[in-house]
């Protein structure tokens, strides 16, 4: 097949779709850092202890990192767009609950669901990019570069925007800002994103649960290491993905 024929098969909406997917990547990484500046205010508003305050961030990171593999498998089985939309629906709804949280437990649970939604979004978005630009390796490299930059920009922008939002609005808007953006992304997804290729197969539920639990425990062990220390028995046991016995 000639280079011209390959270009002719490329989806004409691919660059608009890439902008949408990069926005998704930007948001999922930004969510790991946007509330850092607001943490002292959140602590006072919801009565967190200094020890428990870390869970505003850790709840997101644990479920985001722990469920990525499962999110990729689900996007293969059910189609990238469907999982992408499910992920953004979960992220948007949980951001609403995080923004209106009335105590620390509600915020922690909402943050965990935000992480779960992002774990569905990220592999589905990545797979969609690979599908969109498969016809042209040069465009593929460019698209992947934009995807990588969007995540890096999200991490940097989170701290900057978190400070501005906390200073000029309220800490709750570090979460509520995702609601209108999420609704817009959901609205645009059906017109810009293909359904994706669904692969034949089934979910090994026992395997999915065990692998996901193992990854969650590893990520949990890593995030608690800062507080408990790398040589702590709880850290070592969780990083080994096995139960601890006293």
pTM more than 0.85 = no
Q: What is the pLDDT of residue 1?
A: 41
- At residue 65, the pLDDT reads 82
Enumerate the H helices of 10-79 as residue ranges: 14-30, 39-46, 55-66, 68-78
CATH match of 11-198 with 1.20.1250.20: yes
At residue 206's C-alpha, the angle toward residues 203 and 208, to 5°, is 55
If you ran DSSP here, which 8-state letter would residue 54 be given?
Answer: G
10-residue mean pLDDT series, the chain (246 residues): 45 86 92 84 86 83 84 88 95 96 93 94 92 85 92 87 86 93 93 75 69 73 62 51 44
Q: Which pLDDT belongs to residue 66?
A: 80
Q: pLDDT at position 166, please? A: 84
Q: Where are the beta strands (DSSP E) in the chain?
A: none
Which residue ranges make up each domain of the chain?
11-198, 204-246
Q: Which class for 56: exposed (0-12), middle (13-18), buried (19 or more C-beta within 10 A)?
A: buried
Nearest to 31 by CA among 94, 125, 85, 81: 94
pLDDT at 232: 55
Give the span between the Cα atoms of 246 and 230, in whole angstroms: 18
Give me the pLDDT at residue 117, please: 95
Q: Report yes or no: 62 and 219 within 8 Å, Cβ to Cβ.
A: yes
């Amino acid at each position: 097949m000639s280079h011209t024929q390959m270009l002719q098969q490329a989806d004409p909406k691919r660059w608009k779709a890439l902008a949408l997917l990069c926005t998704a990547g930007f948001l999922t990484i930004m969510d790991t850092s946007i509330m850092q500046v607001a943490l002292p205010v959140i602590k006072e508003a919801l009565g967190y202890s200094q020890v428990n305050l870390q869970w505003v961030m850790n709840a997101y990171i644990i479920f985001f990192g722990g469920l990525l593999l499962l999110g990729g498998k689900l996007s293969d089985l059910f189609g990238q767009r469907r999982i992408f939309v499910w992920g953004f629906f979960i992220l948007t709804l949980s951001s609403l609950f995080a923004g209106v949280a009335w105590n620390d437990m509600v915020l922690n649970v909402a943050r965990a669901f935000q992480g779960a939604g992002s774990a569905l979004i990220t592999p589905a978005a990545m797979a969609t990019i690979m599908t969109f630009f498969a016809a042209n390796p040069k465009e593929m490299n460019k698209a992947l570069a934009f995807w990588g930059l969007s995540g890096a920009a999200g991490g940097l922008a989170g701290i900057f925007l978190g400070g501005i939002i906390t200073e000029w609005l309220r800490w709750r808007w570090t979460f509520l800002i995702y609601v209108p953006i999420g609704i817009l992304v959901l609205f645009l997804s059906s017109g810009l994103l293909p359904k994706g290729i669904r692969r034949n197969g089934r979910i090994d539920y026992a395997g999915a649960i065990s692998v996901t639990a193992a990854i969650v425990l590893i990520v949990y062990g890593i995030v608690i290491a800062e507080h408990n220390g790398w040589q702590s028995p709880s850290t070592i046991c969780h990083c080994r993905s096995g139960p601890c016995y006293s």
